[in-house]
Amino acid sequence: MCSVCLERGKGWQGWNRVPAMAAGKALGPWVDLSHPVGPDMPCASIFPRPALSLLKEMPADPFNVTALQMVVHAGTHVDAPRHYYLDGPAFEDVPLERLHGPGVVWRIDAAADAVIDVADLELCRPELRPGDMLALDTGWAERFGSHEYERHPSMSPEAAAWLAERDIKMLACDFATPDLVYHLREPGFDWPVHRTLLSRGILICEHLTGHAALAGKRVEFMFGALPIRGSDGAPARVVARLVAD
């Protein structure tokens, strides 16, 4: 077996140490940041599209029962460390405190295929605090349903390391992946952003939407991801609300 294959799936470093943090006083209502679950939700072309069907349907039956078939990485979802680390936890072992808490929404105006670097992050406000959850608003959620959605921005490996050094506990983005967009990858590409963050227990949420109105603010997040046993990810109902600093 090749040496790369022997090492693949190793590298989990444990949950990064983050302080217990309480969100400030709520200043607004909860806002839904999730794509509705269904056949038209965002889904990578390498995966089968989600499918919904009725197993029981009124009035022929006494009740309605819907069946859902989908990969866990379709639509608004959260990646567990198991996504890239076989020695890391699957979703049922993700602590609840890793899925909620205070954080910030940063607006970054990014062009198609742009790579967000450290210099871009350093300009953003409010400043990150240790233990924050970070959501990026690049405007790309508004492009969902168009061909341009597939040419989303991404993040440099250096930017991922910069975030890891600040001990965030979640990165959420309004596109498919914080790693380099698919059509720009060269042979041997190894998902450095996912690996840097997930190895330290920093979770990743993809396909966020509806958070543009919260940009530049401190917020409280709840990532309602399902505790799917043995899973590398989970669909999530994500909500946030404005809070005082």
Compute the mean pLDDT over every residue in the chain, rounded to the nearest whole number. 95
Residues whose CB is less than 8 angstroms from the CB of residue 223 and which lie 6 or more positions away in sequence, other chains included = 78, 99, 100, 133, 170, 172, 203, 205, 236, 238
Q: What is the mean pLDDT of residues 93-103?
A: 98
Q: What is the mean pLDDT of residues 73-102?
A: 98
What's residue 2's pLDDT? Answer: 53
CATH topology of domain 3-242: Glucose Oxidase; domain 1 (3.50.30)
pLDDT at 1 over 60: no
Domain extents in the chain? 3-242
pLDDT at 62 over 70: yes
What's residue 7's pLDDT? Answer: 72
pLDDT at 4 over 80: no
- Alpha-carbon distance of 229 to 70, in angstroms, equals 15
**Helix%, strand%, coil% for the chain, nearest 5:** 20, 25, 55
Q: What is the mean pLDDT of residues 111-118?
A: 98
